Chain A
Amino acid sequence: MIEVRGVTKSYGTTVALKDVTFSVQRNEILGFLGPNGAGKSTAMKIITTYLAPDSGTVTVDGIDVTKDPLAVRTRIGYLPEIAPLYADMRVLDYLEFVAKARGLIGVKLHERLEWVYDATSVRDVLYKDVSELSKGYRQRVGLAQALVHDPDVLILDEPTSGLDPRQIIGIRNLIRSLSKTKTIIFSSHILAEISAVTDRIAIIHEGRIVADGLAHELREGARKVNRTIVELARADGDAGPALRAIPGVSAVDRMNHGTGAYLVSSPLERDVRPEINDLARSRGWVLLELHTETPTLEEAFIELTGKEASA
């Protein structure tokens, strides 16, 4: 379990985190979403004890990161944004080095190494020098070093960057399966990446947490107006004015000029679909499509980060 309370961190005059508070329970995956430079990596560096917060407290399994960093480090597996690999070592030697540095010995050492070779699919490159690896393999070896000691807490900074789609699916499945017994935070600046793995999302922007919740809550939260999409056939001329005349409709925009599609906006609580249906019937138009648009996470993200930027 990770608890971050009121954490602020500055680099010189640049404020990287402002009063950040969130927590992640055991068996939970928190997707940390934000544009590049938003503060995701800084927050992760503080949790992993690489950096100390200027103010606020961070505890991992109840242990304060500034009071007993060594105890925190034994519980954490960490993949930084750039996979921390020694170019002069073979993959096999590198992973063994990390495992030993993490305190593994004997049979346990051997077992964990064997497990991690398969879990991250690096078995094919064990005898290669790290400097010869492709980006995808580098990332997987980086993930392997974070997993080798079977940590309770996993902090993964952009774990899927540089991987091809097949590898991404593999890593996603791995992260999901690990979440059954672990506390996981993983970051990305790509929304689809996060929503594919977890429902719990925290959006960070300019050093602040601007949203923290389940994906569907964030979607709903972003919705300001009801948007109904209508596509009509055999509507003589412009159906716009007639749609605009429906009580409650605040705006009508013509979509994909030339076709009979319109975007009808109305207040949130007002569903105008029945009226549109009635209108079409009375005028003899054919309704090709009529549905309320579901707001996307992307919209929620832009709404939240855009609002903060202008504030």
Chain B
Amino acid sequence: MIRDIGVIFRREMGAYFNSPIAYIFIIVFLVLTSGFYVNGFFLAGTADMRDFFDSLPLFLIFFIPALTMRLWAEEQRMGTFELLMTLPMRPLAIVLGKYLASLAFFGIALASTLTIPLTLAWIGDPDLGAILCGYIGAFLLGGLYLAIGICVSGFFRDQIAAFILTLLACFFFFLAGTQFVAALLDGWVPGFGTFLQEGFGLTAHFEGIQRGVLGLNNIIFFVLFSAVFITLNTLSLEGRKY
């Protein structure tokens, strides 16, 4: 099982870096996130990364679907889906191999923004603990979006459809967690907005981690929902035969 995951993982990592996707993605991600951050940084004049992490949940809603939309659609298009499904591997191993590769790739993109805290440490005295927590939160957040993306991609042969639906699904998790939407829904159906916010909203959990509260419940939220979508993807692969 571990060996199978490794074989798929290496092939997927190769796919990212053998094509221009990886380089374009990292450059655009870096330019946009740092650009927006630096803009506010000079206005506020404080050595923290608050604004950077605050904007991530929204930024990633657009970036992650672009990364995941091809994960299964491309296999279908090239005919390699049939090869994967007839390899002596459990579907879970294949899904995990693909997922972990996308997570590793996202990790690399995220790590490329480490120039920001390095600059901060050089010119000021930032709270490095808070920044580390922010990065852990961002990694978990990306992990959840990627799991949603790989799952949605499994249902669609068309990349554009996979992109849009992943975007909407991620947006749901984002919106459900905002105070504004929760209050609005509560106004229509009392308790419903709060229920969505507590059950599905990622904002509170992400902000919690970012503030330095690594709390188990916050981590479990991201890991659990990621696991749910990975399982769904695996089940859809097994059910496809019938």
Interface residues of A (CB under 8 A from B): 45, 48-52, 54, 70-71, 73-74, 76, 78, 80, 82-89, 93, 97-98, 100-103, 145
In the assembled complex, the CB of B78 is this many whole angstroms from the nearest CB of chain A, namely 6
Q: Please encode chain B, from 52 to 84, with 1 for each CB lying within 8 Å of some chain A CB and 0 for all others.
A: 000000000000000000000000001111110
In the assembled complex, the CB of A256 is this many whole angstroms from the nearest CB of chain B, namely 48
Asked if A88 and B19 sit within 8 Å, CB to CB, the answer is yes
In the assembled complex, the CB of A136 is this many whole angstroms from the nearest CB of chain B, namely 17
The interface residues of chain B lying within 8 Å CB-to-CB of A71 are 88
The interface residues of chain A lying within 8 Å CB-to-CB of B3 are 103
Asked if B88 and A74 sit within 8 Å, CB to CB, the answer is yes
Q: Does B39 contact A (CB under 8 A)?
A: no
The interface residues of chain A lying within 8 Å CB-to-CB of B242 are 52, 54
Interface residues of B (CB under 8 A from A): 3-4, 7-8, 10-11, 14-15, 18-19, 78-83, 85-90, 241-242
Asked if A97 and B82 sit within 8 Å, CB to CB, the answer is no
In the assembled complex, the CB of B238 is this many whole angstroms from the nearest CB of chain A, namely 10
| Residue in contact with B7 in the complex, picked from A49, A83, A100, CB distance below 8 Å | A100
Chain A residue at minimal CB-CB distance from B19: A88
| CB-defined A-B contacts under 8 Å, sample of 26 | A45-B82, A50-B82, A52-B241, A52-B242, A70-B90, A71-B88, A73-B88, A76-B86, A78-B82, A78-B86, A80-B82, A84-B81, A84-B83, A85-B79, A85-B80, A86-B15, A88-B15, A89-B14, A89-B18, A97-B7, A98-B83, A100-B7, A101-B8, A101-B89, A102-B87, A145-B83
A207 to B90 CA separation, bound complex (whole angstroms): 30
A101 to B89 CA separation, bound complex (whole angstroms): 8
User: Ordered nearest first, which 8 A-B pairs have the shortest CB separation?
Assistant: A84-B83, A82-B79, A52-B241, A73-B88, A74-B88, A84-B80, A84-B79, A88-B18
Chain A residue at minimal CB-CB distance from B10: A97
Chain B residue at minimal CB-CB distance from A66: B241
The interface residues of chain A lying within 8 Å CB-to-CB of B10 are 97
The interface residues of chain B lying within 8 Å CB-to-CB of A145 are 83
Asked if B14 and A48 sit within 8 Å, CB to CB, the answer is no
A50 and B88 contact, Cβ closer than 8 Å, known pairs A84-B78, A84-B83, A87-B78: no
| Residue in contact with A86 in the complex, picked from B4, B11, B82, B241, CB distance below 8 Å | B11
Chain B residue at minimal CB-CB distance from A47: B86
Asked if A70 and B241 sit within 8 Å, CB to CB, the answer is no
The interface residues of chain B lying within 8 Å CB-to-CB of A103 are 3, 88
| Residue in contact with B241 in the complex, picked from A51, A87, A100, CB distance below 8 Å | A51
A50 and B80 contact, Cβ closer than 8 Å, known pairs A89-B14, A97-B7, A97-B11: no
A52 to B242 CA separation, bound complex (whole angstroms): 6
Given contacts A87-B78, A103-B3, 8 further A-B contacts (CB under 8 A): A45-B82, A50-B86, A51-B241, A54-B242, A82-B79, A84-B82, A89-B18, A97-B11
The interface residues of chain B lying within 8 Å CB-to-CB of A73 are 86-88
A71 to B88 CA separation, bound complex (whole angstroms): 7
Asked if A48 and B78 sit within 8 Å, CB to CB, the answer is no
| Residue in contact with B87 in the complex, picked from A45, A54, A85, A101, CB distance below 8 Å | A101
